[in-house]
Structure 1
C-alpha cells in the first residue's frame, strides 16, 4: 500500500468499525491509500495490527478497543476519534457477526447477537457520531455494511438476514432524516465474498464443495468476490465521487441478486 498525496479521501477523517481482518481491513487499507486519517473501533485487538500497517505507510491512524453493541463503548469511540482526528467526516459501520442454523435450532442468544452487533451498532454509531458529522465543513457520509443476505439469503441465515435487512431499512430512513443537513447515508450489500467470515454458512451448506456448486449455479460471474472489490464500493460511497447519492444499497454480488 502506498499513501497518495491527493486521493479521493485526502483530508477526510474516518471512523471505521470492525477492521481486524477481512473486508474491514481491506477498507482501512484502501481508505489509507486514498489519503484518509482513520480511527478503528473493534473488540478484536487484532485491529491494532491493521493500525500498525497503516502507520507504516504514513497514515494517521488509531485503534480504540470498542464493543459496538454497547452504548458507552460506542460513545467513547466517537469522542476518542474526534479528539484524535480533530473532527469526523465519514463513518463506516463494518463490524458484524454471522451464525448459521435452522430457525428451530437457532439459539435466542445468537438471534440477539446478530441484532446487537450488526443492526444496533449502526444505530449507536449514528446516535453518537452524527453530532460530530454536523460540524464537518465538507461532504458528510455514513456507509453501513449490509448484505445481499438482507434481501435474500440461503437457508440457515434467518437471524443474520433479518439483521442485515434491518440495516437496509435503517439506511434508507436515516438518509431521509439527515439529507437536509447534508449528511449522506448509504450501505453496501456484498454477496459471496471469499473470507473466513462466511465459514458458518459454508459449514451449514455442507462444506466448500457444496458452496462452489451453489456459486456456479447462482452467481452469473461464477466466482466469489474479494474484500478489495467490496472496499472499492465503500470508497465510492464515502468519497466525493458520490455526492448526489444517498439512501441507496449498493449490491456487490457478481449479479446473483
Structure 2
C-alpha cells in the first residue's frame, strides 16, 4: 500500500487516477478545488482536500494532513492543469499568470512542501504535454498553456539532478491527446484515441515502477497529433 498524492482530481485523468489507485488498495490524497465528484464516490482509500493550488497558503493543509496521517509520501503526481485558449495577441499578463500559477508555480510549491516527506525511492511524476516538448507540433491559441508545460519539464530535470543523492526520482510524462474536458477546450470536436481511464492505467503503472528505470526524463506518451 503506497501513499499517493494526486492534484487535479475533480475530472478527467486525475479523477480516473484517484479511483484506479484506490481500487488497487493504495492510499490516495486527492487535491482539487472541486471536491464534490470524488466525495460522491466516497471510496475509503481516498481522502479529498478541497484545495486551490494557486494559493500557496492552502497547501499547508496538505502538509498538516501528511504529517498527521502518513509521515511519508511514496508518489506525488502533479496532474492539475489550467488552459486558456486565446490568440497570442489577445493574451494578457494576467492570463499568463493565471496559467502559470497552476501549471508551474503550484507544481514547484507543492513539491517543495512535500520534500520532507519524500524518502529514498519516492517518485514525483509531473504531467506535461506534447505541446511543451521542444520540436513537437505546436498549435495556435495555446501560447500560455504550452509554454507553461515546457517550464515544468525543465524544472523536473533540474530537481532530478538536485535530489539524485537523496534517491528521489523526478520524471515527466508529456501526454498527447486524451478525451478529457480540457482537450475539448483546446480542440473543440476533436475525438482522441485514448480515454482518461486508459491513460490513468498507464500513468499509474509508470508512477509505481518508472523510477526504477528513469530519473530526470521526459517521456512522450502520444500516438496522434494533437
What TM-score, normalized by structure 2, do the two folds share? 0.90
Counterpart secondary structure, 1:14: strand
**Counterpart selection for 1:147 from 126, 129, 139:** 129
Counterpart secondary structure, 2:22: helix
Runs of 4+ displaced beyond 4 Å = none
How far residue 85 of structure 1 moved from its aligned partner, in angstroms, is 3.0
Kindly provide the CA deviation profile for residues 121-172 of structure 1, in whole angstroms up to 9, marking residues without a partner as x. Answer: 11011110011113xxx62011111111112431110000010000111111
**Does residue 53 in structure 1 map to residue 38 in structure 2?**
no
**Which structure 1 segments of 5+ residues have no match?**
1-10, 213-222
**What residue in structure 1 maps to residue 12 of structure 2?**
22
Question: Hey, what's the Cα distance between the residues in 2 that align with 1:82 and 1:23?
Answer: 27
Question: Hey, what's the Cα distance between the residues in 2 that align with 1:198 and 1:107?
Answer: 22
- The structure richer in strand per residue is 2
Counterpart secondary structure, 2:89: coil
How many residues align? The count is 223
* RMSD between superposed Cα atoms in Å: 1.9
Question: Hey, what's the Cα distance between the residues in 1 that align with 2:78 and 2:61?
Answer: 16
Question: Hey, what's the Cα distance between the residues in 2 that align with 1:178 and 1:146?
Answer: 20
Work out which of the two has the higher radius of gyration on C-alpha atoms and give 1 or 2.
1
**Does residue 238 in structure 1 map to residue 207 in structure 2?**
yes
What TM-score, normalized by structure 1, do the two folds share? 0.80
**What residue in structure 2 maps to residue 93 of structure 1?**
78
Question: Hey, what's the Cα distance between the residues in 2 that align with 1:107 and 1:169?
Answer: 24
**Which structure 2 segments of 5+ residues have no match?**
none
How far residue 52 of structure 1 moved from its aligned partner, in angstroms, is 4.7
Counterpart secondary structure, 1:162: helix
Contact 1:40–1:64, Cα closer than 8 Å, also in 2: yes
How far residue 256 of structure 1 moved from its aligned partner, in angstroms, is 4.0
**What residue in structure 2 maps to residue 72 of structure 1?**
57
Counterpart secondary structure, 1:104: helix
**Counterpart selection for 2:98 from 113, 120, 133:** 113
